[in-house]
Amino acid sequence: MNGGIVVDIIIILLALLFAINGHRQGFIVGALTFAGFFGGALLGVRLAPVIVELSQEPLARVILALATVFGLALFGQWLASALGLRLRRRIKRRGVRRLDEAGGTLVSILAVLLVAWMVAAPLASSGLPGVSAAVRNSAIVGAVDETMPDPVRGIYEALRDSVNTNGFPDVFAGLDPSDIQPVDPPDPELAASAVVQAAQVSVLKVSGDAPQCDRHIEGSSFVFDHELVMTNAHVVAGTETVSVATEDGQLEARVIVYDPQRDLAVLWVPGLTAPPLPLTDSPAESGENTIVLGYPQGGPYTATPSRIREERNVTGPNIYNSADVTREVYSLRARVISGNSGGPLLSESGEVYGVIFAAAVDDDETGYALTMAEAYPVMDQGRATTAAVSTQGCS
């Protein structure tokens, strides 16, 4: 059975149970209980991003986040419920009692829907593909998410970001499931091709320090012109020092273009002798074999076979979740993980088709690359300057 259907069935059963309880406790108790629960949850949302830093394990972070939010929510509910019971005892007239009971039923159902959405917000970005897919495929959660006003949705962005451990920014807005075009598995022999060996000297590991968020970052990049390297903006976000690992050793790099909308950045690396990778204007075709190059999880140079699912325009948040942006991307059948960010997507002949920047949170065989239509304007900016620019804040 589809995971989304299971989630919907659970929500419906909970709504029925709470409706019965809400009829019994009435509107006054229900409304105050709801207010106490929601108020406690809001406090929990503020505290959860701090609490989850106690662990880097995806499951542990989810448990810590939910325990913080719902522990405080239940405490607020208990306090408000006690007050509501005292007030309800003062209602004596039967007609008013019936209205109170009907209102209690409605409030309880609404409370279940809100709680379901509150749980879904962190789970949808949990880095646990099976759980994330089930939540994102829930029709009820999706409908509630669409009705949520932006200020309320914004409250949960920090919580979602703190639970998200896959190392990538969100590609899509909201809790919609990833739209995945089926294609055949990629050719595993590509990982050992001559193209992979030839490109290694030009695919560089990026390292940086971001003191403002007490973070050391690592990602991937590639040479596209003399002493010029492209990576993702989220890889160098908030950094004060950046360097790249080359065959000649570690070289200092300067961020000269920083585009948090596209999620691209250009580094100038004085003294870099690695040759640029060949670029192409030709778009990749659906079903075409490609290769993801980079340093997943900060490890050694790795080639991951991939296949183009489709090219599409995608609207989603920028790396700071401060505005929506539409970008042209390739959806890939590939295992793209943290550390691949900023690496090149190569054709079988060794030309750069795009820049790896994200992975689906609900499918571990789907990754995303920005097309060259997105990369070329940023590359041109890099060719025109060597001046350092701000990397703003951590993403």
Choosing from 116, 144, 162, the residue where a domain stops is: 162
The verdict on 76 and 156 lying in the same domain is: yes
| Within-domain flag for 286 | yes
Q: Is the same domain home to 117 and 212?
A: no
Q: Which residues are catalytic?
A: 234, 263, 341
Q: What angle do CA 355, 357, 360 make, to 5 degrees?
A: 130
Residues 250 and 379 in one domain: yes
User: Are residue 192 and residue 144 in the same domain, yes or no?
Assistant: no
Domain assignment present for 174: no
Report which residue type is found at 193: S
Does any domain span residue 175? no
Contact of 196 with 190, CB cutoff 8 Å: yes
| 170 within a domain of the structure (yes/no) | no
DSSP-based three-state secondary structure for 208: strand
Residues 133 and 201 in one domain: no
The answer to whether the beta carbons of residues 349 and 326 sit under 8 Å apart is no
Adjacent-strand bridge partners of 356: 369
pLDDT at 246: 93
149 and 71 inside one domain: yes
Let me know whether 239 and 375 are in one domain: yes
User: Phi and psi (nearest 5°) for 82?
Assistant: -60, -40
Residue 309's φ and ψ, nearest 5 degrees, are -80, -55
Same domain, yes or no: 196 and 135? no
Q: Give the DSSP letter of residue 298.
A: G
List CB contacts of 367: < 8 A, sequence separation 6 or more. 292, 306, 331, 332, 334, 335, 336, 340, 356, 358, 359, 360
- Position 37 in a domain: yes
Same structural domain for residues 214 and 299? yes
Q: Which range of residues forms the domain containing residue 278? A: 188-383
* CB hemisphere CA count around 80 (13 angstroms): 21
The pLDDT value recorded for residue 257 is: 98
Contact 120, 141 (CB under 8 A): yes
Task: Flag whether the pTM goes above 0.85.
Answer: no
In this structure, the answer to whether residues 149 and 216 fall within a common structural domain is no
Q: Residue 290's domain is classified under what CATH number?
A: 2.40.10.120
Residues 66 and 101 in one domain: yes
Count of structural domains within the chain? 2
Report the alpha-carbon distance of residue 358 to residue 95 in Å, rounded. 58
d(CA 211, CA 206): 16
User: Is 394 a domain residue?
Assistant: no
Angle, helices 94-123/58-88, rounded to nearest 10 degrees: 170
Do both 146 and 207 map to the same domain?
no
Between CA 340 and CA 230 the distance in angstroms is 13
Mean pLDDT by 10 residues, the chain (395 residues): 77 83 72 78 78 71 78 81 68 61 76 77 62 74 77 62 58 62 93 95 94 85 98 94 93 97 97 96 94 93 96 90 91 91 96 94 87 97 96 86
